[in-house]
């Protein structure tokens, strides 16, 4: 990066619904095309205001992503089709179309590009912060990203990452409610990349899950497994989003992290990640996901732990105590936040199930 | 439509950058889902404000449509891919993917769904009105739609529509500049549907162009051809946009029209249509494209015209005098409009090539 621009680059950490917009605009303003800069500034402002004014829920935005994806998928270039259909026999035409479809196979199977777009525009983290507000002392949420996938159930202590180049890491966690009581039987999805920075689903030739699992917390709220130390990696850059980031001089890296997703009846769904302290991208995550409370210091496994958990002494050790918020608590907080925000904006709406609708009374 | 809602349905004609937003919101408010209604109201407001504040150009929005389409096309569901790859051999997996790709073929080849989405949200007509402002006494523009395609050059008087069920229509036009001088040698694209309301490119098995042509104006600015009387038709409803319209109780019809597109060096590109008066959808075009100056009364071919133009007496007759604006005139008007609009909005920008950029001086 040009050192003269260093003062323009904000510290992208602990972003909230109130400060995300100005920070995304500032990081985008490294772009040296004045017109594009202006368009992006207005786009981000309106996109974020739309989410804030509607209190857009995660489920609604997921439906929106689905709508946009379906819309893209059904598109075809009538000009091209028309030329083919006039120049070729139906069979040649079908083969030609087939060839076009096959060509990008390798890059096709790896991602949900609209999720990625939403991530790099700061919309994903904004929607998460609106829809899953967290009281103090509970675990904060962050972006889901496009790489969650179904995974096999493991037993506590199992190895989930098989990359031979990975540095083994023991992960010891607890799960509690906001009163400090252990939560038993929560379903926990965990996923991380291999040492090349790729998730298993990004490989078209990989047949078995790697770097991901599902585990359930035990009666003491404990869950544990053996993974590898995560590495920083670039978000996929082979598509339109990668080209956009390059054009506006934004790096595509995410700091080293492991994803965690918690589901348990009666508790607000928690999608989060743990980040490794002092990662070179800790304050410039391409998708704005880092929060101070989610940054951890790794330790080393000592001899007692080595014996107890069956992993070499000196391996990396990650520990964390997760805290889930109850549905009731979360929903009350969401309602209060929505009401306050919309009162401040002067909108004539009422809050129904945490979401505003026109108030016609 | 529920008669009690009739007063909520605005007359959707002659919409401008200043009144399009309230009218699109009103037509969308037939939706009986209060939450969706609120989301659509905020979405339309922000989308239109974005276009107005950036003075978004047609070319830029075309690039935006391309970006969104590429983004949709590269998407895939990692969950699905992952399951296939674990359950099937690579060949079964490839066949399975192939099957999914083949299935929707028939509907796939007919449209650019993002253009359609932009059309039904009122964004296309808004961008056209910003980017191609028209002084009084010149021909107004309207939406391009997703069905323009390359077409063969014809000679004056040729038949362009071969539907045997069509009612023959002679089309006699002139093309002049704003001083009344004929414009010679302009390239004119013309396209219309068959009597079932489908464009040729919507048929996967049709090999030759039908209902479309390219013609050039002669030394007197004249161009003429033989077509069929256009019919109203629904925009394609088999995709996400059709489902959206249904959900919010909006009909998908466009009133009967013929598309015209004019290109001539030194003149502003004109994309327009002629509409037939008293069409049942004249005041409720699904894509907001009707303007009073573009609505024509059809006449009947008399015996002199029948002999002169080689078409049966009593056939339909459409006549129109198109007026193109020079590039210089158009660009001066665009600059003035942009400056006025942004001054009113209080934005700190300057206008460069008709488009605002941040004013850092």
The complex's ipTM works out to: 0.82
* Partner B contacted by A346 (CB < 8 A): no
Residue B81 pLDDT class (50, 70, 90 cuts): very low
Residue B98 pLDDT class (50, 70, 90 cuts): very low
Angle between helices A327-345 and A123-131 (to 10 degrees): 110
Query: Mutate which of B49, B76, B238 to disrupt the A interface (most A C-beta within 10 Å)?
Result: B76
Specify the pLDDT at position A80.
34
From chain B, pick out residues whose CB is under 8 angstroms from the CB of A60. Answer: 39
A53, A70, A76 ranked by CB distance to B240: nearest: A70
Specify the pLDDT at position A66.
87
Query: Across residues B31-41, what is the average pLDDT?
Result: 89
Q: Please write the tens of the pLDDT for every residue from A347-361.
A: 888 888 889 898 876
Q: Please write the tens of the pLDDT for every residue from A287-330.
A: 999 999 999 999 999 999 999 999 999 999 999 999 999 999 99
* Whether B69 and B26 share a structural domain: no
* Whether B195 and B80 share a structural domain: no
Residues 6+ apart with CB under 8 A from A134: A140, A141, A325, A333
Specify the pLDDT at position A71.
84
Residue of chain B whose Cα is closest to the Cα of A116: B71
Q: Are B39 and A60 an interchain contact pair (Cβ–Cβ within 8 Å)?
A: yes
Instruction: State yes or no: pLDDT of A169 exceeds 70.
Output: yes
Specify the pLDDT at position B251.
92
Q: Is residue B59 part of a domain?
A: no
The token pair that represents B257 in the structure block: 């029209």
Specify the pLDDT at position B77.
52
Q: Is residue A352 part of a domain?
A: no
What's the whole-number average pLDDT of chain A?
Answer: 85
* Whether B160 and B145 share a structural domain: yes
* Whether A288 and A195 share a structural domain: yes
* Whether B78 and B146 share a structural domain: no
Does A113 or B264 have the greater pLDDT score? B264
Q: Is residue A357 part of a domain?
A: no
Q: Is residue A143 part of a domain?
A: yes
* Whether B212 and B358 share a structural domain: no
Q: Please write the tens of the pLDDT for every residue from B103-117.
A: 333 333 336 888 889
Residue of chain B whose Cα is closest to the Cα of A349: B38
* Whether A143 and A71 share a structural domain: no
Q: Is residue B280 part of a domain?
A: yes
Specify the pLDDT at position A4.
45
Most confident of A59-68, A105-114, A307-316: A307-316
B35, B206, B357 ranked by CB distance to A34: nearest: B357
Q: Which pairs with CB-CB distance under 8 Å and at least 24 residues apart come from B40-48?
A: B40/B248, B41/A358, B42/A50, B42/A53, B42/A54, B43/A50, B43/B121, B44/B121, B44/B122, B45/B21, B46/A46, B46/A47, B46/A49, B46/A50, B47/A46, B47/B121, B47/B123, B48/B20, B48/B21, B48/B24, B48/B122, B48/B123, B48/B126
Query: Per mean pLDDT, which range of A116-125, B146-155, B164-173, B345-354 is the poorest?
Result: B345-354
Instruction: State yes or no: pLDDT of B136 exceeds 50.
Output: yes
* Whether A150 and A93 share a structural domain: no
Residue of chain B whose Cα is closest to the Cα of A53: B42
Q: Are A240 and B75 an interchain contact pair (Cβ–Cβ within 8 Å)?
A: no
* Whether B21 and B165 share a structural domain: yes
- CATH number of the domain residue A227 falls in: 2.60.130.10
Query: Across residues B150-172, what is the average pLDDT?
Result: 96
The token pair that represents B276 in the structure block: 């037939």
Q: Are A56 and B39 an interchain contact pair (Cβ–Cβ within 8 Å)?
A: yes
Q: Is residue B297 part of a domain?
A: yes
Query: Per mean pLDDT, which range of A171-185, A240-254, B167-181 is the poorest?
Result: A240-254
Domain carrying residue A94: 64-103
Residue of chain A whose Cα is closest to the Cα of B88: A207
Q: Is residue A331 part of a domain?
A: no
Q: Which of A325, A340, A355 is the last residue of a domain?
A: A325
Measure B182 CA to nearest chain A CA, in Å: 31
* Partner A contacted by B91 (CB < 8 A): no
* Whether A207 and A129 share a structural domain: yes
Instruction: State yes or no: pLDDT of A78 exceeds 90.
Output: no
* Whether A236 and A151 share a structural domain: yes
Number of domains in chain A: 2
* Partner B contacted by A249 (CB < 8 A): no
* Whether A271 and A317 share a structural domain: yes
Q: Is residue A29 part of a domain?
A: yes
Q: Are A86 and B207 an interchain contact pair (Cβ–Cβ within 8 Å)?
A: yes
């Amino acid at each position: 990066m040009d050192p003269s621009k260093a003062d323009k680059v904000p510290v992208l950490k602990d972003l909230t619904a109130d400060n995300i917009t100005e920070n995304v605009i500032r990081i985008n303003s490294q772009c040296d095309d004045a017109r594009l800069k202006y368009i992006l500034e207005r786009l981000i402002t309106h996109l974020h205001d739309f989410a804030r004014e509607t209190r857009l829920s995660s489920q609604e935005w997921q439906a929106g992503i689905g709508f946009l994806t379906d819309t893209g998928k059904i598109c075809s270039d009538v000009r091209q089709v028309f030329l083919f259909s006039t120049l070729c026999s139906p069979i040649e035409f079908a083969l030609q179309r087939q060839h076009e479809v096959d060509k990008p196979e390798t890059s096709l199977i790896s991602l949900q590009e609209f999720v990625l777009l939403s991530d790099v525009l700061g919309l994903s983290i904004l929607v998460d912060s609106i829809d899953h507000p967290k009281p103090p002392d509970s675990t904060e949420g962050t972006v889901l990203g496009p790489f969650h996938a179904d995974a096999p159930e493991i037993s506590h202590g199992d190895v989930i990452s098989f990359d031979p180049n990975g540095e083994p890491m023991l992960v010891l966690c607890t799960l509690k409610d906001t009163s400090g009581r252990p939560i038993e039987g929560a379903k926990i999805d965990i996923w991380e990349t291999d040492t090349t920075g790729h998730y298993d689903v990004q490989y078209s030739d990989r047949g078995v899950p790697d770097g991901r699992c599902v585990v359930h917390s035990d009666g003491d709220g404990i869950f544990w497994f053996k993974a590898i130390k995560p590495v920083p990696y670039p978000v996929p850059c082979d598509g339109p989003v990668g080209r956009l980031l390059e054009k506006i001089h934004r790096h595509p890296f995410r700091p080293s992290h492991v994803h965690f997703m918690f589901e348990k009846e009666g508790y607000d769904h928690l999608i989060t990640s743990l980040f490794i302290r002092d990662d070179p991208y800790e304050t410039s995550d391409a998708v704005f996901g880092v929060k101070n409370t989610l940054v951890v210091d790794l330790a080393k496994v000592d001899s007692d732990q080595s014996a107890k958990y069956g992993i070499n002494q000196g391996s990396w050790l990650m520990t964390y105590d997760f805290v889930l918020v109850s549905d009731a608590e979360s929903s009350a907080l969401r309602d209060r936040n929505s009401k306050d925000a919309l009162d401040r904006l002067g909108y004539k709406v009422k809050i129904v199930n945490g979401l505003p609708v026109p108030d016609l009374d």
